[in-house]
Amino acid sequence: MIDTIPWILLPLGGFIALTAAIGVLRFPDFYSRLHPAGTGDTLAQLLVLLGLLPLVTAWEDGAKLVMVTVLLFVTTPTATHAISQAAHLEGLRPWTRKEESDG
């Protein structure tokens, strides 16, 4: 069972990262692009790091993976929120369908 966990979590994390990257490219405006960049990235990192956890042999390496996971789980959403708030304070407006028909 322990041997199959990385074979499931690592490709799943890669797939989530790929779909998040495609979402960043496909969404129409800055705010909607932040969603896959923040949530997809966080989930993909979690799956990859949890997939690596059964492969480590030393407990120190496992502790490092857990610390990196916790750090990324805290900093990625915080950074996404700070970036979106900075864009909002600069006056960047969200995209609407009305703007598409005007241009």
What pLDDT sits at residue 100? 59
What pLDDT sits at residue 49? 93
What pLDDT sits at residue 56? 92
Paired tokens of 7: 């074979």
**R_g of the chain computed on alpha carbons:** 18
Whether residue 103 lies inside any domain: the answer is no
8 A C-beta contact, residue 47 and residue 13: yes
**Overall number of domains in the chain:** 1
Whether residue 97 lies inside any domain: the answer is no
H or E element, residue 86: helix 59-89
Please name the residue that has the structure tokens 């789980």. 73
Give residue-wise pLDDT tens across range 42-101. 999 999 999 999 999 999 999 999 999 999 989 999 999 999 999 999 998 888 877 555
Whether residue 34 lies inside any domain: the answer is yes
Give residue-wise pLDDT tens across range 11-29. 999 999 999 999 999 998 9
Whether residue 81 lies inside any domain: the answer is yes
Paired tokens of 10: 């690592």
Please name the residue that has the structure tokens 């495609």. 22
Domain span at residue 41 reads 4-92
What pLDDT sits at residue 11? 96
Whether residue 43 lies inside any domain: the answer is yes
Distances (CA, A) of 26 to 20, 48, 77: 10, 24, 21
Whether residue 101 lies inside any domain: the answer is no
- The amino acid at residue 27 is F
Whether residue 83 lies inside any domain: the answer is yes
